[in-house]
Amino acid sequence: MKRFLNYCAIPVATVFGIYLGFPTFTANAGDIKKIYKDTCELCHGTDGKGSEAGKQFGVPDFTNPDYQNSRTDEQMKESMTNGTKNPNYVKLSDLGVDAADLEPLVKLVREFGGK
């Protein structure tokens, strides 16, 4: 049953995101969730802890407060725009994500940390 619920949680959240909009986000709330689901989840996982593949690439656990506290928004944006020392890291432009979505994506990443 738990599995079934986990499986359903994503589409439901996406649908609500599109129709209701999440108050913490600006205009394209649904789109951001969709971008995360389509583009980031592969490595960062549905829950932000990192997928199996992502862990091998060395993704940080977004739910870990120590990690969240160790990075400023500016540092995250810098990594997402220009890449990092980690050769497995893919910057936003290479993922086909618009730079305009940078800000809301950082917010989303922060939400995994409970903020």
Kindly list the residues in this chain that would bind ligand HEC in the complex (CB under 6 A). Answer: 35, 39-40, 42-44, 54, 57-60, 71, 75-76, 79-80, 84-86, 88-90, 92, 95, 97, 105, 109
- In angstroms, give the least distance from the CB of 2 to ligand HEC: 26
Length of the chain, in residues: 115
- The pair of structure tokens assigned to 14 is 């996406």
- CB neighbours of 115 closer than 8 A, spacing ≥ 6? 68
Residue (3 or 77) nearer to ligand HEC, CB: 77
**What whole-number distance in Å separates Cα of residue 59 and Cα of residue 49?**
8
Residue (6 or 55) nearer to ligand HEC, CB: 55
Name the residue type at position 85. Answer: K
- In angstroms, give the least distance from the CB of 38 to ligand HEC: 9
Matching residue, tokens 């432009």: 93
- In angstroms, give the least distance from the CB of 62 to ligand HEC: 7
